[in-house]
Amino acid sequence: MEPLHDLTIKKFHEGLINKKFSALEVAQATFAYIKEKDKEIGAYLSLSEESALHEAEAVDLAIAKNEEVAELAGVPMAIKDAILVKDQPATAASKILEHYTASYDAGVIKKLREAHAVFLGKTNMDEFAMGSSTENSAFKITRNPHDLTRVPGGSSGGSAAAVAAHLAVAALGSDTGGSIREPAAFCGVVGLKPTYGAVSRSGLIAMASSLDQIGPFAKTVEDAAIVFRAIAGHDPLDATSQDSFYKDLTAPVLENIRSLKVGLPEEYFVGGTDPAVTAEVESAIKKLTSLGITFKKISFPHTKYALSTYYIVMPAEVSSNLARLDGIRYSRIAGRHEDAMTLQDLYFAQKGAGFGPETKRRVILGTFVLSSGYYDAYYEKAQKVRALIKADFDAAFKEVDVVLAPVTPTPAFKIGEKTSDPLSMYLSDIFTIPANLAGLPAVSIPTKPAAALAPKELPVGFQLIGKKWREADILGIGQFYEKIG
């Protein structure tokens, strides 16, 4: 069998159909490796070994019968704990959902089941996807596989670390302000946030509904494209989802890619960014130039308002989405319920004990910006600035096809470095937030393969932001970048 470290979806599929190994063998080997390695990484919150082995056996049976199987059949995948997999825990890394077991499959999980993917378990995250380091998990921290003293990024830190440490071949995360792209950059893997509406949000424990999208983590851009193709499309249970009839997501044509014009927004290349990040992103631009891609300087005048806008719109949506988590419907914290309590007392006690500090901060902030007397000054103002930020992109996309930018201002930071100062943590998302506000697809790609990193060098990612429904452009450039990388 090929070593787990070398397995991409592509290689796994070839090995499987050529009978070099069985899906069961790979699943068993992956669980054995998780049990050894995840003690130091902490990527998983729960494992589903029994059901995963059954899923793998079913794929092997189909292969034995010479049935045609999907490219994702048997692929061992990790799923962020905010995404519901029927009969598995779904805590969103929060105490208030500690005992909740999902009663149905998320839309994306239904689609992956049709492709016969194998679900290894649920991964650690910042509580309710609120954070940029996975340190806001109520249960444990996750460590960056490239440097165990550093964070994996967040909020989908467990999924990013699982793929980077070969504890899964691919994974799903969710991205509200950068929660796929930032951990992908920190862990040296590929992470895609799709166009808003490209992927169903049904069964994703909602954080901010106008911003959330589910997307893949993978070792290569091609693998990310394969997972994205499988999960994209309309779902009757998410009224904002739609079919987009993607073509050419894999096997891009060089002629088409060369004809794309890439914009470099000056506001993303100013002071404050770590020199290591700047140097790596510049080297990525050079490599893309050598492919024949042309660049053009552009300007996004409202970029500097994106962080404020996001930290008004998002908490507002958080405060209403999290109202349902009340200790009554999904899970209850023991010791915070007495028979003498009224319903309202129970809400206060359960939310007080069940929500962590960042969750409380955002629910209170969201309640404030929506409250009478402040709504116009904060929430409506932010919705207007959101329109201006989107208009910046609309104007730029008249001149260019794709926008290139850094993913993060710094490489992975130290565990504990930013936990006491929420504003400095929020600034980690400064380059990723605009794509969410504008609903655009964006991919984070490592500037170099993990094997090419010098000792102690931390991974850095660059970001490609595309037009709505044009994942093929950003994934196409990415696939050629990897060929020359």
Contacts to other proteins from residues 195-224, by CB under 8 A: 196-197, 209-211
Q: Which two tokens stand for residue 484?
A: 């020359």
Cα(12)–Cα(33) distance, integer angstroms: 17
Considering only 327, 411, 434, 459, the residue that binds other proteins (CB under 8 A) is 327
- Nearer CB in complex with other proteins: 8/240: 240
Considering only 69, 264, 341, 453, the residue that binds other proteins (CB under 8 A) is 341
CB of 71 to other proteins, least distance (A): 27
DSSP per residue over 459-482, as a string?
P-EEEEEE-TT-HHHHHHHHHHHH
Secondary element (H or E) of residue 442: strand 442-446
Which of the following is catalytic: 22, 48, 80, 241? 80
Which of the following is catalytic: 137, 179, 319, 428? 179
Which of the following is catalytic: 22, 48, 133, 155? 155
Active-site annotation holds for 371 = no
Helices and strands, number each (H, E), in the chain: 16, 11
Cα(218)–Cα(250) distance, integer angstroms: 14
Considering only residues 106-165, where is the footprint of other proteins by CB under 8 A?
none
Considering only residues 370-389, where is the footprint of other proteins by CB under 8 A?
371, 374, 377-378, 380-388
Buried b (16+ CB within 10 A) or exposed e, 264-299: bbebbbeeebbeebeebbeebbebbeeeebeeeebe
Considering only residues 167-196, where is the footprint of other proteins by CB under 8 A?
196
Select the span of 2-10, 263-271, 363-371, 398-406 touching other proteins (CB under 8 A): 363-371
* Residues found in the chain: 485
- Is the distance from CB of 76 to CB of 33 less than 8 angstroms? no
Considering only residues 56-115, where is the footprint of other proteins by CB under 8 A?
99-101, 103-104
- Residue 331 in the binding site for other proteins (CB under 8 A): yes
**Residue window 280-309: x/- pattern of binding to other proteins, with contact defined by CB under 8 A:** ----------------------x-xx-xxx
How many residues in the shown chain lie near other proteins by CB under 8 A? 72
Helices (H), 66-143: 107-114
Is the backbone peptide bond immediately before 200 cis, with ω within 30 degrees of 0? no
Considering only residues 216-275, where is the footprint of other proteins by CB under 8 A?
236, 239-240, 242
The phi and psi torsions of 443 (rounded to 5 degrees) equal -125, 140
CB of 327 to other proteins, least distance (A): 7
Considering only 148, 253, 279, 328, the residue that binds other proteins (CB under 8 A) is 328
DSSP 286: H
Active-site annotation holds for 155 = yes
Select the span of 14-22, 218-226, 264-272, 347-355 touching other proteins (CB under 8 A): 347-355
Please identify every residue annotated as catalytic.
80, 155, 179
